[in-house]
Structure 1
Amino acid sequence: MKVNVSSEIGNLQGVIIHHPGSEIENMTPQNAERALYSDILNLTVATKEYCEFESVLRKYTKVYEVKELLKEALQSENVRRELAHKVCANEKAMHVYKDLLDLSIDDFTKAMIEGVEMKQDTLTNFLSQERYALRSLHNFFYMRDASISMYNEVLISRMANIVRSREAIIMETIFDHSDTVSAKTINPINYKDFDPEITIEGGDVLIAREDVILIGLGSRSNTKAVDFLIDRFKESKTSMNIVVQELPYKPESFIHLDMVFTFLDKDNCMIYEPLIARHNKYQTVHIKIENGKVEFIRFRNTMMEALKELKFDLKPLTCGVADDLWIQQREQWHSGANFFALGPGKIMGYARNSYTIEELCNNGYEVLKARDIIKGRKDMNNYSKFVVTIDGSELPRGGGGARCMTMPVLREKMDW
């Protein structure tokens, strides 16, 4: 499958996921903050909830499991050597390199995701408070962040925190060497103008249209990354509009743009209204690139205003209740604005955000419970506009929603 994603809502034809495993349990209250969590998760409950989510996806589209794609890419010994060296060098763990190469492909794949325990063969290791020589990838089931499908290419993310950098290395290996999904990869570190301060993550990048990209500017993605993309569009002579939305650094629920804004349909989007629709101190910038040059960079009052100028006729739906800031804050905290589109007007999100689900229902979205779809009591094909509600008490505590847990690789082109 060749990667091609030119919108957030085109009918989904292929998506990569990662079913969370024991790496979730390789976390303690002591290291949760380092792992970018505010709490530890219960794997049994999280797995049950994720199975609902995954089962609905499999009912609708082609689903690829990242572990299987990685195993496929690792059939080559040279690829295994390259990946092991990149990971060990990046994490200052070259003493693990030879041990990794001695593993079977299955065990190598497991080690890349679940980590490698530290050998107790020196006094330093014996007395160390660390358990792992290579730490577990606690966040990897949030597949959105480590790579970004941009039209027929994949941008390899520059993660803001080193604890997640291996995720991006793995995704680059997959797209470069898998036969199942493939694409030209764009990695900032491979360019002469590379700035080591660049950070960009997939939750901050929304492919709005063939000529429009939205980028969040906050704790995970920065201006240097936007500059990098500007240069790439200039080089390719691509006509492009980049709408940049500044985000608060606190609280942590604002880490990515897709936590406050997601597309639902041609004419609907879900927003955290205080940030996206009201004029406030967080800046919105429109950058226009044409014929290899930056035509202009200018401020807009809000992101909704910028999108309207770009001919998006969007009715924003409110995360929570429009006139109740407390409810908006509560539901945004648990990914109430983070919906994933299976197709135009066909979306998935957490059931727990009841006020947001009611808002969708009041605007023509049929509410379908995931378990009813899985058991065959409801058929998504019978509805033109729906929201699938996923039971989520444990998964939201990790800090992400349905969009966060998916990496689309193929969508049908939209007829705007």
Structure 2
Amino acid sequence: MNQKMKVNVTSEFGELEGVIVHTPGLEVEEMTPETAKRALYSDILNLSVASQEYQQLKGVLSKVSRCFEVTDLLAEILKDEPVKRSLINEICLRENAVDIQPDLLGLTSPELARQLIQGVPIKRNNLTRYLSQERFSLWPLHNFLFTRDASMAFRDEVVIGKMANAVRDRESLIMEAIFNHHPLIESKTINAERSEMMKADTKIKIEGGDFQVARQDVLVIGTGVRTSTQGIDFILESIKARQEPIRHIIVQELPDLPESFIHLDMVFTFLDRDACMIYEPLIMGTNRFHTIHIQVENGEVTRISERKNLVEALQLLGMDMKPIRCGGKNDIWTMEREQWHSGANFFAIAPGQVIGYERNVNTVNELHKNGFEVLKAQDLIDGKAIIPPNKKCVVTIAGSELARGGGGARCMTMPFRRKNIDW
């Protein structure tokens, strides 16, 4: 199991071979109603319940793929002294906590990994710290269970997220260090923050929830509160630099509100070569949010044009997608309610085989009507059921508590290796 794994993602639905997750820990409990907003939550989670539900997700992933924990990967790279010093130095400089560097350097690798994620409590050993209203020198990473956002794999590269909110910057630094230094993962990283573009334009933002790989030559990227047009231009420049034959980026504008539209994968996810999950009012409805097709050939943009909607844009590129509706077809209120609880946020473990929340019963029923067998995650984990080979299915996980965190199965997974799709 120590064989090196090379990053390779050429679709959202190729058979999963390598995925990174983060089981929520004490960093989730280090949140109060007062600090929840700063932590980007609208509510605080019950860790004991959320952890039980998360184990269903991880249990299914471990059945079908190599599944890695962020904390374990981080602890392993921190055994390398130069890596440890470099990462601590950058984190402490960014978060104005240089004074705690000696303490951090003295920790064991597992303990340091834990504190970098769960937070470093402030030592009240001088007057300034004694009077400080802060509880931590380094704040807990409350959002790290959503491993999707801080890094995103495309073909053999990993794009490091430039997070929209500074409270998440440490997640990107950790994921960059893992992909650059872990001995089991072979990859190359692209980081907007370390580019010349960033020096000229500080508005660059790019998060993995907005970044989807449709096909080896097609990216679908949302732009809204978390991913800026400048962030997409950074991706565009990276594609141009490759000087390759024809490539495509489809850009979907997103509204700033409600907060459940925070990323593209909250309103659109791929299920198979020929099927996608959509929140119909936004993706197919008549609205003011543009769908833009950018075509790149041999390092030059040869076309920028508007399309009617995302489904049509994919169809024009030879990807004829059947849209399956979040919340079903009949009731807009049901659509809204289930979308709010990540009803459109599915994660594919193979073509036509996806994971999502069981609480969104109308969405799951709509999948069933479209040929997806419904399987309970716990039945798979207990050996009472198996994933049918080469057949469509939806594996449902509990989500009464997790969904309140504002993300679904796709949000909580960072796939870095999939089998290529035979088109």
What is the alpha-carbon distance in structure 2 between the residues aligned to residue 63 and residue 10 of structure 1? 16
1:261 maps onto 2:268 in alignment: yes
Alignment of 1:235-314 (within 5 A): 235-238=241-244, 239-314=246-321
1:318 maps onto 2:325 in alignment: yes
Match of 1:129 among 105, 130, 133: 133
1:400 maps onto 2:383 in alignment: no
1:230 maps onto 2:255 in alignment: no
Deviation at residue 383 of structure 1 after TM alignment:
6.3
Match of 1:214 among 206, 220, 227: 220
* Structure 1 contact 260–338 (Cα < 8 Å) conserved: yes
Match of 2:92 among 88, 91, 101: 88
Alignment of 1:101-180 (within 5 A): 101-180=105-184
Secondary structure of 1:126's counterpart equals helix
Select between 37-46 and 305-314 the one with higher mean Cα deviation. 305-314
Deviation at residue 122 of structure 1 after TM alignment:
2.3
Per-residue CA shift, 1:173-213, capped at 9, x if unaligned?
00010011231000112222323221000000000001100
What is the alpha-carbon distance in structure 1 between the residues aligned to residue 286 and residue 186 of structure 2? 42
Match of 2:203 among 171, 181, 197: 197
* Structure 1 contact 3–149 (Cα < 8 Å) conserved: yes
Secondary structure of 1:111's counterpart equals helix
TM-score using structure 2 length: 0.97
Select between 235-244 and 142-151 the one with higher mean Cα deviation. 235-244
Secondary structure of 2:391's counterpart equals coil
Amino acid at match of 1:224: Q
Deviation at residue 351 of structure 1 after TM alignment:
0.2
Deviation at residue 382 of structure 1 after TM alignment:
5.0
Per-residue CA shift, 1:338-381, capped at 9, x if unaligned?
00000001000000000000000111100001111111110114
Secondary structure of 2:111's counterpart equals helix
Amino acid at match of 1:44: S
What is the alpha-carbon distance in structure 2 between the residues aligned to residue 244 and residue 383 of structure 1? 31
TM-score using structure 1 length: 0.98
Amino acid at match of 2:195: Y
What is the alpha-carbon distance in structure 2 between the residues aligned to residue 285 and residue 268 of structure 1? 21
What is the alpha-carbon distance in structure 1 between the residues aligned to residue 186 and residue 26 of structure 2? 28
Amino acid at match of 1:168: S
What is the alpha-carbon distance in structure 2 between the residues aligned to residue 326 and residue 33 of structure 1? 26
Backbone CA RMSD of aligned residues: 1.0
Secondary structure of 2:197's counterpart equals coil
Amino acid at match of 1:260: V
Which residue number in structure 2 is paired with residue 182 of structure 1? 186
What is the alpha-carbon distance in structure 1 between the residues aligned to residue 7 and residue 133 of structure 2? 43
Amino acid at match of 1:243: I
1:350 maps onto 2:357 in alignment: yes
Select between 345-354 and 383-392 the one with higher mean Cα deviation. 383-392
Amino acid at match of 2:387: M
Secondary structure of 1:384's counterpart equals coil
Which residue number in structure 2 is paired with residue 10 of structure 1? 14
Amino acid at match of 2:283: I
Which residue number in structure 1 is paired with residue 38 of structure 2? 34
Deviation at residue 123 of structure 1 after TM alignment:
2.5
Return 5+ residue gaps in structure 2 as ranges.
Answer: none
What is the alpha-carbon distance in structure 1 between the residues aligned to residue 197 and residue 141 of structure 2? 30
Which residue number in structure 1 is paired with residue 387 of structure 2? 380
Secondary structure of 2:92's counterpart equals helix
Return 5+ residue gaps in structure 1 as ranges.
Answer: none
What is the alpha-carbon distance in structure 2 between the residues aligned to residue 349 and residue 219 of structure 1? 24
Deviation at residue 400 of structure 1 after TM alignment:
0.3
Secondary structure of 1:203's counterpart equals helix
* Structure 2 contact 14–350 (Cα < 8 Å) conserved: yes
Which residue number in structure 2 is paired with residue 389 of structure 1? 396
Which residue number in structure 2 is paired with residue 49 of structure 1? 53
The percent identity for this pair of structures is 53
* Structure 1 contact 152–183 (Cα < 8 Å) conserved: yes
